Amino acid sequence: AILLVGASWLLARILARIYAYYKFRCHLRCFPQPLRESWFWGHMHVAKWKHLASEGSARLDMFEHISLMTLDSLQKCVFSFESNCQEHPSDYIAAILELSSLVVRRQRQPLQYWDLLYRLTSAGQRFRRACDLVHGFTDAVIRERRCALARQGAHDFLEAKAKAKTLDFIDILLLAKDKDAKELSDEDIRAEADTFMFEGHDTTASGLSWVLYNLAKHPEYQERCRQEVQEVLRGRESEEVEWDDLAQLPFLTMCLKESLRLHPPVVGIARSCAQDVVLPDDRVIPKGAICIISIFGIHHNPSVWPDPEVYDPFRFDPENSQKRSPLAFIPFSVGSRNCIGQTFAMAEMKVALAMTLLRFRVLPDAAEPRRKPELILRAEGGLWLRVEPLSARAQ
């Protein structure tokens, strides 16, 4: 799911940058800034967790719950669609989850790499059905939006969306033109939207699950983050984290970054060498060679990160960060094919973490999780933690 192939990646990158730095902040209705009602509240697992934890504390698999939240929020940001999948089963979300797990299983079966053979297997048939369902959903949204666009005309369409703050990713793609002033085809739009749905849910869910684990293991850091959030929200009528608040959470950000170092959601990337690369010991990686670069390995290199297995957020104290190479910490990769969703991901993780800590105490489970690197970094059998509502105010 981490691959975006074909000629459209450049376009996707340009669009995503605009989306991340401008439209996203000003117009997305699901993010906290424009709305009084936070996308998180009642949207994230809060109500569900409270119910589950009503008898004291609940033992929950973070991946299961948080993946539903990240899918829910992506579906809102990409399509303006409210599936309520955290409360009720959704066929679309079930299909995305099924596709992600089928891709991992197929990876382990070299015989099934052959499309013709894969199509004949029961997994291949399930894959086809899930793909059809996901494509059908995206196609229906595009059709409906094209009709609205034709009815209203581009100017009024954009004006109405901007006013209601409901411009979403599909709208941006519909209105986009390439360098020859040509619009994107429905197929292009579908490919970009589906890519975002796949790239964006598992990775962010992994990042959030592991930071909650690390803070459960270090209650002193958890408490400091909670106090920071409480301080930012002090005196407000509502407990919403707004866009500008995200810059006022330096310690929480340090905790998040240290977690992305220790448990990077994407553990490695592959690159083909465009030219000979001379290593410091004079050995040469020849042009054309495919290299697997371990993000996990770089983040655990003891010559860069002393005591690499220790969770220490102060490594990301701005003073300490300045002393390190910018390539020592690369959870979103670097270079021209780095992650285009990183602004989105960091914002989403900060808001979700802040709102969770404001309402719940997170405690470790009796059994220590074992890391399980798949397409993303998971935990064997799920990442189980205990959550406890904080106070009567949180009830």
Phi, psi dihedral angles at 81 (to 5 degrees): -110, 130
Report the site for ligand HEM in 144-163 (rule: CB under 6 A). Answer: none
Q: How far apart are the first and last CA of the chain?
A: 38
Residue of 232, 340, 353, 358 that binds ligand HEM (CB under 6 A) = 340
How far apart are alpha carbons 68 and 91 in whole angstroms?
12
Nearer to ligand HEM, 306 or 335 (CB): 335
Residue 332 touches ligand HEM, criterion: CB under 6 A: yes
Nearer to ligand HEM, 176 or 269 (CB): 269
Question: Does an H or E element contain 58, and which?
Answer: strand 58-61
Phi, psi dihedral angles at 41 (to 5 degrees): -65, 120
CB-based burial, 364-394: b 16+ in 10 Å, e otherwise: bbeeebeeeebbbbbbeebbbbbbebeeeeb
CB of 330 to ligand HEM, least distance (A): 7
- Rounded-to-5 percentages of helix, strand, coil across the chain: 55, 10, 35
Number of neighbours of residue 307 by Cβ within 10 angstroms = 9
Residue 13 touches ligand HEM, criterion: CB under 6 A: yes
Residue of 11, 103, 123, 269 that binds ligand HEM (CB under 6 A) = 269
Tokens of 224: 């400091």
Nearest to ligand HEM by Cβ — which residue? Answer: 341
Number of neighbours of residue 254 by Cβ within 10 angstroms = 22
Residue 199 touches ligand HEM, criterion: CB under 6 A: yes
Residue 106 touches ligand HEM, criterion: CB under 6 A: no
Stretch in the footprint of ligand HEM (CB under 6 A) among 79-87, 297-305, 314-322, 336-344 = 336-344
Residue 339 touches ligand HEM, criterion: CB under 6 A: yes
Q: Give 177's DSSP letter.
A: B
User: 225: annotated binding-site residue?
Assistant: no
Residue 72 touches ligand HEM, criterion: CB under 6 A: no
Residue 4 touches ligand HEM, criterion: CB under 6 A: yes
Stretch in the footprint of ligand HEM (CB under 6 A) among 121-129, 195-203, 319-327, 382-390 = 195-203
Could you list the residues that contact ligand HEM (CB under 6 A)? 2, 4, 9, 13, 195-196, 199-200, 203-204, 207, 265-266, 269, 331-333, 337-341, 344-345
Binding-site residues for heme: 339
